[in-house]
Structure 1
Amino acid sequence: MAEIYHGNPKALEVPRWKCLLPLCMAGVGLTGIMGFAGWPWKLYNDIPSLMGYMSLALIIYKVGIKPLNRLLEWTNRFSYEWYLVHMLVFDIIFYCIGHNAPIAVVFVLCLLLSYSTAIAYSRIWSK
């Protein structure tokens, strides 16, 4: 969708700020609340997550920072693969490192390894 919007912005109408900001805050907020509430609410946080993070991505894209937009467009090519592998990579990292490393180090490591694993998985899968 990002590539279509980048090529022809009028092909897709991105919602206005006054719609995106409340959707983002409500979606991300509900996701957090439902996650902390635990079972059974955690089972139903997919729709608020979708609304919140999609709105956040559209807000970031709408700001118009070209390098960031290109990164989002490129990430769009293997985002499904990233979705598939991210929890496996996170679990492996948490198993190997545990809670001995600073959270910032674990976060960066999880992000980089899951991102690169998704790229590799995408290349293998697309052949």
Structure 2
Amino acid sequence: MDILNPDKTLRIALIAVGIVYTVGLYPLTLIWPDGFMWMPRQAEYEQMILATFAVLGVFLLLAARAPAEHRSLIGFAGWSSLVHGLVMLVQALRDPMEQANFFGDIPALIAVGAVLLVLNRPAVTPAAG
């Protein structure tokens, strides 16, 4: 088993992120609301964002079957997670009530974005010659 195989590593990352996005975010909001929710709480917004992430998670799980065929979806998931985390970082810097998010959803989204973007590179094939 070659753990450094980029395709295999990307598949593992897609499965992990897909599971967390699909079924893991809601429990995180219950276990540590300060780290994974924003104040004031808005039930309608929370339901919308959790549903959106759940759908993305399902598609990431499907993409894990053949990542090379889903590079644009993986790129979208990476960039949208990274940008989402960076926007929240700026917002939390401006609002002292959101400092717990520095240790919850902000680093999680930035890490997910960075990992997906780094791992989503096409495999390099040796030049024929």
Identify whether the pair has TM-score above 0.5, normalized to the shorter chain.
no
Higher relative contact order (CA 8 A, sep 6+): 2
Q: Write 1 or 2 for the structure with the bigger share of helix.
A: 1
Q: Shorter chain as normaliser: what TM range?
A: 0.3 to 0.5
TM-score w.r.t. structure 1 length?
0.37
